[in-house]
Amino acid sequence: MPKAEDAAARIARLRADIAQCDRAYYQLDAPLIPDAEYDALYRELQALEAAHPDLRAPDSPTQRVGAAPLPAFEPVRHRVPMLSIQTETDTSPKGAEAFDHRVRARLGLDAVDPPVVYQAELKFDGLAVSLRYEYGVLTQAATRGDGETGEDVTQNVRTIRGLPLRLLAEQPPAVLEVRGEVLMKRADFERYNARQRAKGQPTLVNPRNGAAGSIRQLDPTVAAQRPLSFYAYGWGEVEGWEDRPTTQHGMLDAFAAFGFPVAAQRVHGPGAQTLMAFHARIARERDELPFDIDGVVYKVDRLALQRDLGFRNREPVWAVAHKYPAQERSTQVLGIDIQVGRTGKLTPVAKLEPVFVGGVTVTNATLHNEDEVRRKDVRIGDRVVVRRAGDVIPEVVAVVPDGRATRADPFDLHARLGGVCPVCGSAIHREPGEVDWRCTGGLYCPAQRKQAVLHFASRRAMDIEGLGEQRVDQLVDGGLVRVLPDIFSLDAARLAALDRMGGKSAAKLVAAIDASRATTLARLIYALGIRHVGEATARDLARHFGSLDALMEAPVGALEAVPDVGPVVAESIRLFFEQTHNREVLAQLRAADVHWREQASVPGQGGTGVLEGRVFVLTGTLPHLGRDDVKARIEAAGGRVTGSVSKKTDFVVAGAEPGSKLARAMELGVTVLDEAALMELLGSVGSQQ
């Protein structure tokens, strides 16, 4: 057994050699040594690290595989947001000219000024991730998420062989967040599926889903079995890199020198002509690329100009995605089914003879709505053109002329269904001027169950903390919640048995459910999810009718007497309460001790509270009340809450750290209230609605 100092030197040499071999094999497609020799080096490193566990390091090649499965992904707050970029709507090469025109206009350049230098890159079709390196060592990997917060997928990203665990730099930056795309090359995808078929195991749908699904596996050993690749194209937080490049193309060159895979298909040069030539070239080469793309990306090359151009609506002005026209193929319509969506929308879907288009085999394509089916005159037996681009749902574009073998009947959704929902049997309804038919059994229909539960439990409805999308999926899929009243029969024992739901979390959810039993009439009305009835309308209905029973029995004329309730909204409310299923759900909620305070009705008016017509602005943090609670109390008393202080503002409610709104209020002489003064002003009506 070698001494510790000898072992450390040998381990360092082995790690460097294996990293060099990985880079040559996975990035350059130029293996340096036979597989048997590579395996021998890897086994030697494993043995030395086992004998000297104190010499293990997170950047060792042996740490790419084998971590224990995770109970869940931890959230990661991006220090620099991962923002999306604008998509150029003109898919022709002239889209590049449109981008150049916008950039020059923003910079104040005219025709005699020199051209702007751009960088053109590929738009990969994979999963965006951010990799954080501290002093050259990979410490964290996160998905984009919503741009502000992603998921920690470090263990899975470590399994990507072509990705450096340690940067190739003697003095790496103190912090470097490299951003890019995890994807699966077409050849790797085909080889993987061939092996899976040989084993009789499930295959992947397409390379993009394969990559995204692999990175979001809770078990890193599963991700390690998938042939993933990574390409760098951007960055987030950077610290301690004093001589960093000043151009986009220079940054990518530096990333390549650090050991990151960077696509060779990129150019930089002056003006729109550079971009148009790149767009045309990649269009010709697209099918020959080793991976899927759905367009190209243009960026202003000089980083100083990027900073000058800045952002608009959280999108960089200095960059744009220029996609290619969607791919299209023809096939035959075998039938037309009707699907019921989460919100009750009925969508006709064409059942197709399988056709490979846009990277996947398509067997279904949306027909959008009855009007679209009739406009395109799609009938069973027709030969049609199907379009798919990226992750967009496949759609039927048009009927192929002379492609109709037999003359099938025109499509009639209402007649096909006999006027009732194919899932629950409730009446279907199509409002005047709308294109979509909808199921009216919102609280009863299984197709709408998850959406109904999510809306019912949302913060501004019944406010049941802990009933998010994943938990609702578990409860509905597991048969624990079939209708809304089932929520109130859940107990800690059954909840604790759910996957990733311990006893403490189960007890918290049960407590939140119990607390929600006492609500307000306005919240309950909003929680029912009646089409067109938002928070404001729910409050007006509660004030006007005073009780749920009065609202349920109200004819259309009485409903239209409520401010801002017109014929369409009134008819939607009437249809909802006309359904026996919905009335049964409400009776069951009452039986489950869901209760609310009712009052005498106030016919003909939307509210006569003590704050009627008064305008409020909220700023800072109050000691006991949340912003939503304060807003609800003010509105329940007839007041209105706006976002900015003006001469029309009556009161500013200020808490801790109030910011500029307080200064503006004092400047205009607006009355400022603290929490105690607000509650005194509200008097006894604060939360009665």
Return the bridge partners of 357, or none. Answer: 360
Report whether 358 contacts 388 (CB < 8 A): yes
- CA gap 290, 679 in Å, rounded: 66
DSSP state, 358? T
Tell me which residues of the chain have a pLDDT lower than 50: 66-67, 69, 603-608, 684-689
Rg (CA), the chain: 30
- The contacts of residue 297 (CB under 8 Å, 6+ apart) are 85, 120, 121, 122, 123, 233, 319, 320, 321, 322
Q: Using CB atoms within 10 A of its CB, is residue 623 exposed (0-12), middle (13-18) or buried (19+)?
A: exposed
Active site residue 631: no
Long-range CB pairs of 561-564, under 8 A, 24+ apart, other chains included = 561/603, 561/604, 562/537, 562/606, 563/605, 563/606, 564/536, 564/537, 564/540, 564/606
Return the bridge partners of 350, or none. Answer: 336, 365
Give the neighbor-by-neighbor strand order of the sheet with 127-134: 137-143, 127-134, 175-183, 229-239
- CA gap 546, 533 in Å, rounded: 16
Scan for tokens 């150029």, then name that residue. 88
Sign of the Cα torsion 625, 627, 633, 634 reads positive
Considering only CA atoms, which of 426, 420, 417, 483 is closest in space to residue 452?
483
- The contacts of residue 675 (CB under 8 Å, 6+ apart) are 622, 623, 624, 625, 653, 655
Report whether 50 contacts 1 (CB < 8 A): no
- The contacts of residue 118 (CB under 8 Å, 6+ apart) are 100, 268, 269, 270, 271, 274, 275, 298, 299, 300, 301
- φ/ψ bin of 194: left (φ > 0), alpha (ψ from -120 to 50), beta (otherwise): alpha
Strand blocks (E) in 135-262: 137-143, 149-151, 175-183, 229-239
- CA gap 40, 19 in Å, rounded: 14
Out of 123, 323, 376, 661, which one is annotated catalytic? Answer: 123
- CA gap 510, 16 in Å, rounded: 54
Q: Give 361-378 pLDDT, tens digit per residue.
A: 889 998 989 998 998 899
Return the bridge partners of 60, or none. Answer: none
Q: Give 247-257 pLDDT, tens digit per residue.
A: 999 999 999 99
| pTM over 0.75, yes/no | no
- CA gap 37, 15 in Å, rounded: 14
- φ/ψ bin of 620: left (φ > 0), alpha (ψ from -120 to 50), beta (otherwise): left
- Domains plus CATH for the chain? 4-64 (1.10.287.610), 94-276+286-323 (3.30.470.30), 327-412 (2.40.50.140), 439-605 (1.10.150.20), 615-682 (3.40.50.10190)
Scan for tokens 């895979």, then name that residue. 261
Considering only CA atoms, which of 319, 309, 325, 316 is closest in space to residue 275?
319
Distance between first and last Cα of the chain: 79
- CA gap 246, 268 in Å, rounded: 14
- CA gap 661, 669 in Å, rounded: 12
φ and ψ at residue 416, rounded to 5 degrees: -60, -40
Tokens of 491: 């107990």
